[in-house]
């Protein structure tokens, strides 16, 4: 009896590797934070250079081109020239992926709308407002897809999984008739649609309030901030919904087992 008591009083393991791999319940929050930090560092190592290049092409170059060309070319032509690098970046990224799916079609739609902005000319303010029309139209497409019961977020998520992890596509598609899953996809689609329309509306206010040079500095920050906020919200919300789904399945498992045992008896 004494030996058993003595054994029960000993720590579960003195191996530090086991302790780190299985932290105590009170350290669960710290473990999640360290995991997120590790993922953030991995993201910076893998995609940091690409993010810096994207900022250079979509933010720094347009401002420098407009700042250089405003006097010799005039505001309208300088603004058209400054849109060249972002449009070229989108075309190159699409060509590099070489895939035609829902996400690629959405990107091509944005490129096409951006190019159509400059057909017909107009004042510099009018060109800026028409450029933001692309964002508003994409947002309305999101809202429309949710209204007809075919949330666009589902199609975009499916395209992403098919590209990154084809083996997991079947499991993802099996959820499409689950009422909780469909509600999650619809809510995410509505939030993205509303966010994009709100971003376009705020950009329109900034266009009418700031000079062209000021807007070229502030506008991209607002747009990237809006997309970043929507992406962060999606990450947090999707994770929360996954945990709720796992809890529902765990709660349903005992009742299923009990029903099976009753039927067998």
* 0.85 surpassed by pTM: no
Residue 144 pLDDT more than 50?
yes
Max Cα–Cα distance, the chain, nearest Å: 95
> Residue 5's pLDDT band (boundaries 50, 70, 90)?
very low
Q: What letters, b where the CB count within 10 A reaches 16 and e where it falls short, cover 200-220?
A: beebbebbeeeebeebbeebb
Residue 161 pLDDT more than 90?
no
pLDDT at 56: 83
116 three-state secondary structure:
helix
> Residue 263's pLDDT band (boundaries 50, 70, 90)?
low
The better pLDDT of the pair 26, 151 is held by 151
Q: Which backbone phi and psi does 23 adopt, to 5 degrees? A: -65, 160
Over residues 215-236, mean pLDDT: 88
Nearest C-alpha neighbor of 157 from the set 242, 222, 86: 242
Instruction: Determine what percent of the chain is predicted with pLDDT higher than 90.
Output: 16
Is the Cβ–Cβ distance between 133 and 117 less than 8 Å? yes
Residue 98 pLDDT more than 70?
no
Q: What letters, b where the CB count within 10 A reaches 16 and e where it falls short, cover 33-43?
A: eeeeeeeeeee
The better pLDDT of the pair 115, 124 is held by 124
Across 15-19, 71-75, 178-182, 209-213, least confident range: 15-19
């Amino acid at each position: 009896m004494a030996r058993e008591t003595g054994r029960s009083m000993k720590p579960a393991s003195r191996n530090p590797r086991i302790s780190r791999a299985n932290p105590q319940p009170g350290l669960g929050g710290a473990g999640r934070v360290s995991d997120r930090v590790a993922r953030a560092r991995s993201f910076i190592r893998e995609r940091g250079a690409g993010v810096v290049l994207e900022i250079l092409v979509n933010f720094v170059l347009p401002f420098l081109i407009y700042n250089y060309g405003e006097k010799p070319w005039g505001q309208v032509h300088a603004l058209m020239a400054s849109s060249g690098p972002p449009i070229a970046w989108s075309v190159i990224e699409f060509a590099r992926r070489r895939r035609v799916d829902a996400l690629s079609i959405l990107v091509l739609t944005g490129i096409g709308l951006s190019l159509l902005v400059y057909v017909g000319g107009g004042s510099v303010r009018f060109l800026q407002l028409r450029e933001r029309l692309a964002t508003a139209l994409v947002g309305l497409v999101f809202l429309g897809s949710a209204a007809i019961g075919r949330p666009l977020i589902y199609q975009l998520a499916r395209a992403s999984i098919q590209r990154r992890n084809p083996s997991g596509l079947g499991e993802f598609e099996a959820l499409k008739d689950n009422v909780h899953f469909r509600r999650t996809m619809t809510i995410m689609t509505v939030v993205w649609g509303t966010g994009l329309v709100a971003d376009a509306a705020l950009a329109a206010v900034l266009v009418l309030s700031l000079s062209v040079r000021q807007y070229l500095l502030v506008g991209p920050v607002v747009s990237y901030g809006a997309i970043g906020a929507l992406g962060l919200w999606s990450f947090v919300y999707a994770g929360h919904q996954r945990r709720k789904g796992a809890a529902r399945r765990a709660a349903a498992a005992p009742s299923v087992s009990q029903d099976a045992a009753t039927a067998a008896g």
